[in-house]
Structure 1
Amino acid sequence: MISRRGFLSTAGGLVLSSVATGAYAIGIEPNRQPRVTRYRLVPNNWPAGLKLKLVVLADIHACTPWMSPRRIGEICEQANALGGDMILLLGDFLSGMRIKTGHVAPEDWARELARLAAPLGIHAVLGNHDWLDDPAAMAARKGPTIVHQALSSINVPVYDNRASRFEKDGGAFWLAGLADQIGPRPGFDDLPATLAQIRDEAPVILMAHEPDVFPTVPKRVSLTLSGHTHGGQIRLFGYSPVVPSRFRNRYAYGHIIEHDRNLIVSGGLGMSVLPIRFGSPPEIVVVELG
């Protein structure tokens, strides 16, 4: 039988451990310099000789004290130093926090994002919180949203069911992006209309804020890039107890291959709902194709 002293010692240890864990999850991990997670892959339909480096930033969720303009600027400088051919922004620029935080004006976070530079440009899609946290756009059920306007002010195109063709080193590829899948339900995404804009056999990279569209993405798409899940924000031994996806952990994080199709889900940079990260630190994703 455990003694009273033993019980109190054990109970005290559990309390201290819980406090320490909570302090780390709120005060340390969310504020770490983003780790750089690298993926190298050659999709089945990728042309020989075409090498492409993508730097991916997802889920900024601007708010103070966790994602201030200064921190966003530092992340942008870190992203620039990675030498990507393109920088892709996968949505959720607005806070999404359910507790009171300091507001960051769109012009302030946009000014920091204007630091981003890459030879083939900066490209974006919107996320669910870019609609849900914009009452006027939600009421009207149409854009332009606050985020559309902020990104337009720094000449970053938003891919709302749109595809554009690019060339590099004599090879061609398409960059496509879906409008958000949630927003004012139902969402504004239209995958068939987006892919209908592709006029040749060059490979396709698809930006889709939420990964839930992946089961319907055809093999014609070489790579789908998503954010939204934050890796669950809490991730233990490769498992996240809460994932904002109807597929739960299936598309929570990382490189997923299904039926010769590739999906990469970023753990993102900021936080939504609650300011907690544990086992899922902020990250910048680098994808090298070819």
Structure 2
Amino acid sequence: MAGKLRQSRKIRWIAALLALATIALGTKAWSDTMRDAVIERTRVTLPELPDDAAPLRVALISDIHVAGPDMPPERLERIVAQVNALEPDVVLIAGDLVSDKRTATHIYTPEQIVAPLGALDAPLGVIAVPGNHDHWFDMPGLAAELDRHGIALLANEAMQAGPLAIGGLDDDYTGRADIAATLAALGRLRGARIVLSHSPDPFPEMPGSIPLMLAGHTHCGQIAYPWGGAPAHLSDYGDRYGCGRVDENGKTLIVGAGLGTSLIPLRLFTQPTVWLIELRPPEQVAPTAANSRM
């Protein structure tokens, strides 16, 4: 009888500990999901910038995934204010404005999704590319709203932004990226070349004439391990281009963790992120250009 009583108490203690662990993990996940965006900073050399060019500040945001419960338009308005406070020269949006996940508590209209982005303030403009969820949701509707709010949408096209020539790939994940067309469009422009893509997977196909590519899509795993890394990154290259800055073969890739969520409305051990990238000619680069986190 005493043995059964001890066993019963042990089971109750284990159940209580598991319940506490579940509550703690859930609290951590909701905190990671809803916290203010982390600002990641880095410097990149662009050889084609004029020697006397002032440093340029590029804000990269991606995977906004407007949907309830975690990314209502009101929260995006606060993030836009946070981005504007960084005083970027240009804002680049690497796709997936919307989330149509089955776990969403509310799906918004294209007008509601894009309206907060209309307040982004950057003298060289705000430029976006499509993501897979944008195509699955309502790309024509989103494109019309982006145009109404003065946000350029590039889909295998390029445009001039001051001393920068920016090429925008259509979504690679849904098979719409046309690298050759984008590079041809860039070839008709002058200035330092950057490619903006939703997925990082086209990076190995970028020629050496493209020193910088910016992307999103991976969410840095969204649900990650506490010690680093994640079970999956939605990339054909696994974790090779899964998160952050990658310098490879003389080129730089920066992959943002995104702002919202996909599939389930939770992050865990990843945080919503905005990248602020300072672009300089070679001789203006400091001796060390390490990333820093605010």
Letter in 1 for 2:223: I
Q: Is contact 1:58-1:266 (8 Å) kept?
A: yes
CA spacing shift, 1:199–1:23, aligned 2, 3 Å: same
Shift of 1:18: 2.6
Shift of 1:152: 1.3
Given candidates 139, 158, 162, the residue that maps to 1:163 is 158
The yes-or-no answer on 1:148 pairing with 2:151 is: no
The yes-or-no answer on 1:28 pairing with 2:31 is: yes
Determine the C-alpha separation between the residues in 2 that align with 1:59 and 1:248.
Answer: 18
| Aligned residue number for residue 81 of structure 1 | 85
Determine the C-alpha separation between the residues in 1 that align with 2:216 and 2:18.
Answer: 34
Q: Is contact 1:130-1:145 (8 Å) kept?
A: no
CA spacing shift, 1:199–1:152, aligned 2, 3 Å: closer
Letter in 1 for 2:78: E
Shift of 1:7: 6.2
Determine the C-alpha separation between the residues in 2 that align with 1:98 and 1:56.
Answer: 27
SS of residue matched to 1:196: helix
The yes-or-no answer on 1:235 pairing with 2:235 is: no
Letter in 1 for 2:258: G
Q: Is contact 2:160-2:190 (8 Å) kept?
A: no
Unaligned runs of at least 5 residues, structure 1? 135-143
Determine the C-alpha separation between the residues in 1 that align with 2:183 and 2:15.
Answer: 58
Q: Is contact 2:164-2:193 (8 Å) kept?
A: yes
CA spacing shift, 1:7–1:115, aligned 2, 3 Å: same
Given candidates 256, 264, 268, the residue that maps to 2:254 is 264
| Aligned residue number for residue 57 of structure 1 | 61
| Aligned residue number for residue 189 of structure 1 | 177
TM-score normalized with structure 2 length = 0.86
Unaligned runs of at least 5 residues, structure 2? 1-5, 281-294
The yes-or-no answer on 1:71 pairing with 2:75 is: yes
Letter in 1 for 2:125: G
Q: CA RMSD in A?
A: 2.0
TM-score normalized with structure 1 length = 0.87
Q: How many residues align?
A: 272
Shift of 1:64: 1.8
Given candidates 133, 153, 165, the residue that maps to 1:174 is 165
| Aligned residue number for residue 40 of structure 1 | 43
Given candidates 222, 226, 234, the residue that maps to 1:244 is 234
Determine the C-alpha separation between the residues in 1 that align with 2:24 and 2:161.
Answer: 49
Determine the C-alpha separation between the residues in 1 that align with 2:56 and 2:278.
Answer: 6
SS of residue matched to 2:202: helix
